[in-house]
């Protein structure tokens, strides 16, 4: 089943007013830890998971995720290991898994070869944080060929015209950053945010995911009815670091 259909099926569940997507950095602190964290997440109600392939210059990420990328690279994580891990995870769990990374990873690996391998590994979508549609013609064409959804990003600075252009290249859902800047910093929602979400809704027919600074049940409750998916990234990494892996599940279970 392709990503958009899986999201629509999940949203049809009357017990789920909003979906949850979480973020992990592959290889941080180890793939075995990643596996245990994913198990905690899935068994406590997460609907989608984005798995970040570490990159040396993750420009969209805040200090916690930057550190995780750096340490994973220092410990020797490879793209091939990430692909092999993805294959084992998608065989074990039925929810959609996505790759999040930066374009140089695909460029160095070979874009078509990477998409081919990702398809074989069961990946449903890609978030390539630094790839605008004007510079990714091959990627977008190949993503259609291999039926892997490209997820593009709306920001509070995006104009309606830009949103419509991004939608034209997107499938699955749109990732809406809750604010300007990088991941990790707490987001303060205000009337301007409501206007932003209304503009997003008016300029795409795809489901909307909201991330950057989403960290508690109150945030998820606020987004319910405004977005379709709440994205929790930095917070789960901090919880695993500070309280241990077994604390991730109860945190996820308490988000909605």
Residue in 50, 117, 219, 228 annotated catalytic = 50
What is the pLDDT averaged over residues 110-117? 97
Residues 24-72 have pLDDT tens digits of: 999 999 999 999 999 999 999 999 999 999 999 887 788 999 999 999 9
pLDDT value for 179: 55
Tell me the domain boundaries of the chain.
3-12+19-253
The question of whether 61 is a catalytic residue gets the answer: yes
| β-pairing verdict for 174-177 and 97-101 | unpaired
Query: Which among 13, 39, 61, 190 is annotated as catalytic?
Result: 61
Alpha helices in 76-136 (DSSP H): 79-92, 103-109, 111-120
- In whole angstroms, give the CA distance from residue 228 to residue 124: 18
| Catalytic residue flag (residue 228) | no
Spell out the CATH class of 3-12+19-253. alpha beta
At 221, list the tokens.
């409750």
Summarize pLDDT for 207-252 with one digit per residue, the tens.
999 998 899 999 999 999 999 999 999 999 999 999 999 999 999 9
Sheet holding 208-211, edge to edge: 149-150, 125-128, 97-101, 48-52, 19-25, 229-232, 208-211, 174-177, 153-154
- Give the pLDDT confidence of 134-179 residue by residue, as tens digits: 999 999 999 999 999 999 999 999 999 999 999 999 999 999 998 5
| Confidence (pTM) | 0.94
- Between the two ends of the chain, the Cα-to-Cα distance in Å is 26
């Amino acid at each position: 089943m392709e990503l958009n259909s899986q999201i629509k099926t999940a949203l049809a569940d009357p017990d789920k007013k909003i979906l949850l997507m979480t973020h992990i950095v592959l290889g941080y602190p180890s793939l075995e830890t990643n596996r245990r964290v994913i198990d905690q997440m899935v068994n406590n109600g997460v609907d989608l998971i984005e798995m970040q392939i570490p990159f040396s210059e993750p420009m969209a990420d805040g200090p916690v995720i930057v550190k995780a990328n750096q340490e994973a690279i220092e410990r020797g994580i490879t793209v091939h290991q990430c692909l092999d891990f993805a294959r084992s995870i998608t065989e074990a769990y039925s929810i959609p898994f996505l790759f999040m990374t930066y374009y140089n990873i695909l460029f160095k690996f070979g874009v078509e070869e990477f998409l081919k391998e990702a398809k074989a590994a069961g990946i449903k979508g890609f978030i390539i944080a630094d790839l605008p549609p004007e510079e990714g013609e091959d990627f977008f064409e190949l993503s259609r060929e291999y039926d892997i959804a490209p997820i593009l990003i709306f920001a509070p600075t995006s104009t309606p015209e830009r949103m419509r252009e991004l939608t034209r290249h997107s499938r699955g859902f749109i990732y809406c950053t809750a604010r300007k800047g990088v991941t990790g910093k707490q987001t303060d929602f205000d009337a301007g945010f409501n206007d932003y979400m209304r503009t997003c809704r008016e300029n795409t027919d795809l489901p909307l995911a909201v991330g950057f600074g989403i960290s508690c049940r109150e945030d998820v409750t606020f987004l319910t009815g405004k977005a379709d998916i709440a994205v929790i990234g930095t917070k789960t990494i901090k919880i695993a670091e500070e309280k241990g892996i077994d604390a991730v599940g109860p945190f996820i279970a308490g988000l909605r």
